[in-house]
Amino acid sequence: MKKLSSLALATSLLAVNVPQHAQAQKARSPYQTRFAVDAPITGGLAALSVAGLLLVQKKDGLTDAQLAALNKNDIPKFDRFSAGYYSETAQTAGDLIVYPSLLIAPGLLALDQDVRSRYGQVLGLYFQSMLAADATFTMTIGNVTRYRPFLYGTEGGGSRNSKIATNSFFAGHTAHTAAATFFAAKVYHDFHPDSKARPFIWTAATVVSVAEAYTRLEAGKHFLSDNLVGLAVGATAGILVPQLHKKTGNSYSISPVQGLNVNGYSYSGLSLTKRL
């Protein structure tokens, strides 16, 4: 997952700069990108991701004495039920969801003819979305210490003393899965505003993300609140980045209006409407 940060900048710098002469045969894109704007943003997000990882490297693991002093009663009640959870099977299942989803989500978009004709631009937005989620994640775990649920049990072996055992808040696997799947749903939604398949696309994105969150909960890697925040951060990144690049078209319209006011007098005029 972290390797995404190191590759995204170079790829997205190329992707967002689509020459005008090459667009003649392409489908109309709902998005507008500018190299002068998107390149610095993408580069800044990549830098934040790396900075967060460096902060994580400076964290300390737990000593045996610190582990012995952990008390599940110190955990908020809504998260306490999962204290001590541990499952290597659930962890493996979560890995088999998150890592393939990072490739499958944009890969499925490539199967759509309209999206494929603007794929360079879409890939640029995808990397920007993923880096937005990743930067938020790494900077958070780099500055916040929260013990993982499995530390409140007896399993985990040598990983119990690892510095990453303090990275419970928030759920990175869940955030990255949600960013990838919700991005794919958002792009399909925007390219096909009249498609009857859109509810099913959004449902699929939600189901995959929730499934990932469930595996991380069962694995003892994150509490419920960690997963909820991760889901919110990932979904927001996947939706917001394309939305901020969406074309508005003719944002103003004028139409005649007439009617009666509260006092019974008639009125007429023009209505100026701005599309948000």
Asked if residue 243 belongs to a domain, the reply is yes
Mean pLDDT of the region 239-246: 97
pLDDT in tens, 161-178: 999 999 999 999 999 999
pLDDT at residue 2 greater than cutoff 60: no
Furthest-apart CA atoms within the chain: distance in Å: 81
pLDDT at residue 106 greater than cutoff 60: yes
Asked if residue 274 belongs to a domain, the reply is no
Asked if residue 266 belongs to a domain, the reply is no
Asked if residue 272 belongs to a domain, the reply is no
Binned at pLDDT 50, 70 and 90, residue 9 comes out as very low
| pLDDT on residue 158 | 87
Asked if residue 110 belongs to a domain, the reply is yes
Binned at pLDDT 50, 70 and 90, residue 269 comes out as low
Mean pLDDT of the region 50-72: 95
b/e code 133-168 from CB counts within 10 Å (16+ = b): bbbbbbbbbbeeebbbbbbbeeebeeebbeeebbbb
**Count of domains for the chain:** 1
Asked if residue 137 belongs to a domain, the reply is yes
pLDDT in tens, 172-218: 999 999 999 999 999 999 999 999 999 999 999 999 999 999 999 99
Binned at pLDDT 50, 70 and 90, residue 8 comes out as very low
Mean pLDDT of the region 27-53: 95
**Which distant-in-sequence residues (6+ apart) come within 8 Å of 211 by Cβ?**
97
Asked if residue 140 belongs to a domain, the reply is yes
Binned at pLDDT 50, 70 and 90, residue 248 comes out as confident
Angle, CA 132 vertex, CA 131 and CA 137 arms, to 5°: 90
Asked if residue 268 belongs to a domain, the reply is no
CB-side exposure of 256: number of CA atoms within 13 Å? Answer: 3
User: Which range among 84-93, 134-143, 157-166 shows the weakest confidence by mean pLDDT?
Assistant: 157-166
Percent of the chain beyond pLDDT 90? 79
pLDDT at residue 102 greater than cutoff 50: yes
The residue range of the domain holding 15 is: 3-251
**Which distant-in-sequence residues (6+ apart) come within 8 Å of 193 by Cβ?**
none
